[in-house]
């Protein structure tokens, strides 16, 4: 296995230009979509089957009464423990040798179980192809020595691409620098490989709490309860089976019953 690649999105550097969003659309040949009114500059309101990179515009009220304008270029997190990958019954969703999560469009049969298994609402169903789509981490580019289109296009280095352990180190230094500058809520999201979902291969530097960016505080693998739920179902089967057994074994009395 090759070294794990990652994308580090430093939201403190984002200027909301959406070059990443456009570069993603162009490289991946994603069709145009009808814009929607979201109440802010943001378009669309969420990832779609044709929007893999999405610049979010958040207005966060400050204690002074002003609004902080928080910008964040959001993307598939390529989780080390990926709910979508675990949920896929066809093997279409797989982990590449670089540690990223990709969907084989020739294998996916559109059952959409992965859509419900993504803790971030990334995976989206495409009604034209009948398959599910999401960020590929520019799989074709990274296998040819290029970085993802979004990182390449970013004019402020808000999106950085590289080997994961190097980027994590860089990100930790950046948090310290920001804190020294007075951004006391500066924090990394998903950088810790011992943290939630085994760490995110697309991780973030946030300037406020994750919830401000519509990110779950501590997302968990949706499949974590399979064993408990199955055992409870088996218990239910035993009770139901025993009840039926008692009813059908109960000879003699039953004649008068009907």
Partner 1 sequence: MLKTPGWEMMIVWYFFLGGIAGGAYFTAAIADNFGGPRDGRVARIGYLLSLPLTGLCGLLLIADLGVPTRFLNMLGVFKFWNPMSIGAWGLGIFGLFSFISSVLSFSTSEQMIGLRRKASLVGSIFGFFLAAYTGVLLSNTALPFWGDSRLMGALFLASGASTGMAAISLLLFLSGAPAGEGWGKLKKADRYSMVFELLVLAIFLALLGSAARPITSGHFAPLFWGGLVGAGLVIPLVLELVGQRVKAIAAVTAVLVLAGGFVLRYVVVMSTQS
Q: Which residues bind partner 1 (CB under 8 A)?
A: 46-47, 83, 86-92, 107-113, 115-127, 129-132, 214-215, 219, 222-226, 228-230, 232-237, 239-241, 243-251, 254-258
Question: Could you give the CA distance from residue 13 to residue 237 in angstroms, rounded to a whole number?
Answer: 56
Q: By C-beta, is 60 or 146 nearer to partner 1? A: 60
CB 95 → partner 1: shortest distance, Å? 14
Query: Shortest CA distance to 28 belongs to which of 40, 37, 36, 20?
Result: 20
CB 208 → partner 1: shortest distance, Å? 16
CB 64 → partner 1: shortest distance, Å? 28
CA 92 from chain centre, in angstroms, equals: 17
Q: By C-beta, is 1 or 258 nearer to partner 1? A: 258
CB 104 → partner 1: shortest distance, Å? 10
Question: Could you give the CA distance from residue 170 to residue 33 in angstroms, rounded to a whole number?
Answer: 36
CB 85 → partner 1: shortest distance, Å? 10
Q: By C-beta, is 27 or 52 nearer to partner 1? A: 52
Question: Could you give the CA distance from residue 42 to residue 36 in angstroms, rounded to a whole number?
Answer: 9
Question: Could you give the CA distance from residue 157 to residue 22 in angstroms, rounded to a whole number?
Answer: 16
Q: By C-beta, is 34 or 246 nearer to partner 1? A: 246
CB 162 → partner 1: shortest distance, Å? 27
Question: Could you give the CA distance from residue 102 to residue 69 in angstroms, rounded to a whole number?
Answer: 32
Q: Are 78 and 100 within 8 A, CB to CB?
A: yes
Question: Could you give the CA distance from residue 62 to residue 69 in angstroms, rounded to a whole number?
Answer: 10
Q: By C-beta, is 82 or 186 nearer to partner 1? A: 82
Q: By C-beta, is 113 or 183 nearer to partner 1? A: 113
Query: What are the φ and ψ backbone dihedral angles of 183, each rounded to 5 degrees?
Result: -85, 85
């Amino acid at each position: 296995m090759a070294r794990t690649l990652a994308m580090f999105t430093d939201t403190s550097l984002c200027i909301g230009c959406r070059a990443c969003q456009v570069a993603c659309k162009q490289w991946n040949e994603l069709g145009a979509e009808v814009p929607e009114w979201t109440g802010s500059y943001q378009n669309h309101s969420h990832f779609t089957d044709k929007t893999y990179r999405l610049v979010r515009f958040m207005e966060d009220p400050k204690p002074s009464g002003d609004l902080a304008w928080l910008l964040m270029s959001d993307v598939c997190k390529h989780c080390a423990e990926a709910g979508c990958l675990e949920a896929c019954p066809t093997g279409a969703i797989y982990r590449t040798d670089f540690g990223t999560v990709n969907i084989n469009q020739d294998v996916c049969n559109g059952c959409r179980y992965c859509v419900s298994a993504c803790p971030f609402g990334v995976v989206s169903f495409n009604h034209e192809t009948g398959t599910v789509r999401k960020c590929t981490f520019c799989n074709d580019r990274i296998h040819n020595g290029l970085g993802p289109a979004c990182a390449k296009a970013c004019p402020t280095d808000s999106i950085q691409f590289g080997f994961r352990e190097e980027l994590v180190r860089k990100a930790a230094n950046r948090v310290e620098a920001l804190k020294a500058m007075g951004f006391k809520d500066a924090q990394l999201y998903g950088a810790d490989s011992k943290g939630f979902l085994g760490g995110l291969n697309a991780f973030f530097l946030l300037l406020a709490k994750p919830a401000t960016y519509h990110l779950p505080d501590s997302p968990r693998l949706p499949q974590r309860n399979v064993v408990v739920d199955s055992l409870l179902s088996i218990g239910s089967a035993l009770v139901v089976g025993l009840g039926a057994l008692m009813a059908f074994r109960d000879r003699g009395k039953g004649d008068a019953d009907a």
